[in-house]
Amino acid sequence: MKNFKNILVTGANGQLARCLKDASRDYPNYNFFFKTSKELDITNEKEIQTLFTELNFDYCINCAAYTAVDKAEDDKENAFLVNAEGVKFLAKACKSFETVLIHISTDFVFDGTKNSPYTENDITNPINVYGASKLKGEEYIKNILENYFIIRTSWVYSEFGNNFVKTMLKLGKDRNNLSVVDDQIGSPTFAEDLARLILEIIDSNSLEYGIHNFSNDGEISWYEFAQEIFQESKISIELKPLKSSEYPTKAKRPKYSVLSKLKIRNALSTEIPLWKNSLKKCLVSLEQDIANKNS
């Protein structure tokens, strides 16, 4: 068995890819190839074919995605181009070159009408363009490949890029009061935890192919998430709960999109951190970043 692997990571500027880059330092035997959207446009099939021909990849981790949920409602063509057609091109290349594809999907493939955690076998029914485009990408993978991992995740945040945690911290400094929706329930995912799970899949040479759910443990509303962010960061702000109907957005969101992690636990015998513990870890890292910049 090979003790080294060539691993392609697309969407290298995104949160998850940047966490993968940090975590990759613990895997010196592996060759990682991080490609930004400018270095590898996944909607360009020729570019993909050329790269796969030049480098014999064992794994392709697809972090490239169109993630602007509200914008996608008016930009359907581009959302489907990246989240579906681009994924199809990657899947075809993975098939030709016998590369295992690890693709990141979303809780938004569900409509949110369930009252218990969604399993990998539950019926999908996206209620916005973003969710529909991601589901189409999943379908392409399932039709083209046998050896693949589709990882559905939710509410991703990290020290990198734009996300809910960083937005709350910024608003907490700029405002005296804030309203956050309290009737959308889900599970946050610290991108570092997801990155380590992906590398564990690769390092263990897992053959548990198919769809897997992953997020941190626990279920909360966005309001409760904001509450914990401010409490942990010792930010004093008047926080008010808000109904989704009082804060209309272009794209509809699932009311409940908690993901069951039973399958991934059994497949990898992995520990899944509680969301509060991972949030603390992220906030400590963000504080250290600020301290380093100011020193």
pLDDT digits (tens, 9 = 90+) for 178-236: 999 999 999 999 999 999 999 999 999 999 999 999 999 999 999 999 999 999 999 99
* pLDDT tens per residue, range 90-145: 999 999 999 999 999 999 999 999 999 999 999 999 999 999 999 999 999 999 99
**Within a domain: residue 27?**
yes
- Does residue 176 form part of some domain? no
- What pLDDT is attached to residue 290? 72
Residue 291 clears pLDDT 80, i.e. is over it: no
List residues bridging with 149 in a β-sheet.
Answer: 102, 210
At 295, the pLDDT band (50, 70, 90 cuts) reads low
* Residue 232 located in a structural domain: no
Contact between 14 and 104 (Cβ < 8 Å): no
In a domain, 239, yes or no: no
Is 293 within a domain?
no
Q: Are 92 and 44 in contact (CB under 8 A)?
A: no
Note the pLDDT of residue 1. 41
Residues 6 or more apart in contact with residue 236 via CB below 8 angstroms: 230
pLDDT (tens digit per residue) in 232-254: 999 999 999 999 999 889 999 99
Token pair listed for 83: 């989240």
Query: What CATH number should be reported for the domain holding residue 130?
Result: 3.40.50.720
66 annotated active-site:
no
The answer to whether position 86 is within a domain reads yes
Q: Is residue 156 part of a domain?
A: yes
On the question of pLDDT at 4 being above 90, the answer is: no
Report if residue 78 sits inside a domain. Answer: yes
Residue of 196, 119, 112 lying closest to 152 (CA atoms): 119
Please state whether beta strands 238-242 and 189-190 pair in parallel, antiparallel, or not at all (unpaired). unpaired
- DSSP class of residue 58? S
Instruction: Give the active site residue among 130, 148, 157, 223.
Output: 130
What is the domain extent for residue 210?
A: 6-162+188-218+251-274
Per the structure, the count of domains in the chain is 1
